[in-house]
A = this chain, B = another copy of it.
């Protein structure tokens, strides 16, 4: 199955046993992937469903519904202070591969970048590509950036804020053990901007039920910290 090409479709494109393909998808399948009439590929709706399909005119005929085993049993949200430059692209790509469910970019006191709406579309495209490449069944949701203070009040679950300075316990020692996690468990991990969170931001997060944690004794860049944190969380869920 691994050799078949995969594309992400919108749930609304699936109608009975047919998937109506958009002109962009037809172009991609035909011109980029070089598929021809009758060739098979995998369509994923980004909501956990995969279908084995066959290219038939401008549609994909569904041959089989596939079972996927590549998704984590829980929901993981990365709340990330937007880093400067194009570093966020790499965070979206890596964290999608690693298994994140939702990425919630936030504007913190030390955030330098205030992204344009075009950026959001770009991040969503990167997430869809990375989900395909890593054989995931879900495309992670990327939310619109909001102020950190506002984001704090919108999340529920096991909440952690990562901070390089200060004597906090290691994230890996603070995660709920497997017996405490169920299919609807939610984990929220917040990572800071260049220069770290301000003291007020840490205090606000703790007041909102977040636990302050460390990712180890070295100081990680704003781009590396979320990748390290997600690596630990997903491994802890799978072992």
Residues of A bordering B, CB below 8 Å: 2, 69-71, 90, 93-94, 97-99, 133-136, 165, 170-173, 215-221, 224, 227-228, 231-232, 234-236, 238-239
Please give me the 9 A-B residue pairs with the lowest Cβ-Cβ distance, nearest first.
A231-B231, A228-B231, A134-B218, A172-B235, A170-B239, A70-B217, A172-B239, A173-B239, A134-B219
Contact sample, A vs B, 18 pairs, CB 8 Å cutoff = A94-B224, A94-B227, A97-B219, A97-B224, A98-B228, A99-B216, A133-B219, A134-B218, A134-B220, A135-B218, A170-B238, A170-B239, A172-B235, A216-B238, A217-B238, A227-B231, A232-B232, A232-B235
Give the shortest distance, in Å, between A9 (CB) and chain B (any CB).
20
State the copy count for this chain: 2
**List of B residues within 8 angstroms of A239 by Cβ:** 170, 172-173
A235–B233 CA distance with the chains assembled, in angstroms: 11
**List of B residues within 8 angstroms of A165 by Cβ:** 2
A97-B221, A216-B238 given; 12 more Cβ-contact pairs under 8 Å: A71-B217, A90-B90, A97-B224, A98-B218, A98-B228, A99-B218, A133-B219, A134-B218, A134-B220, A136-B218, A172-B236, A216-B234
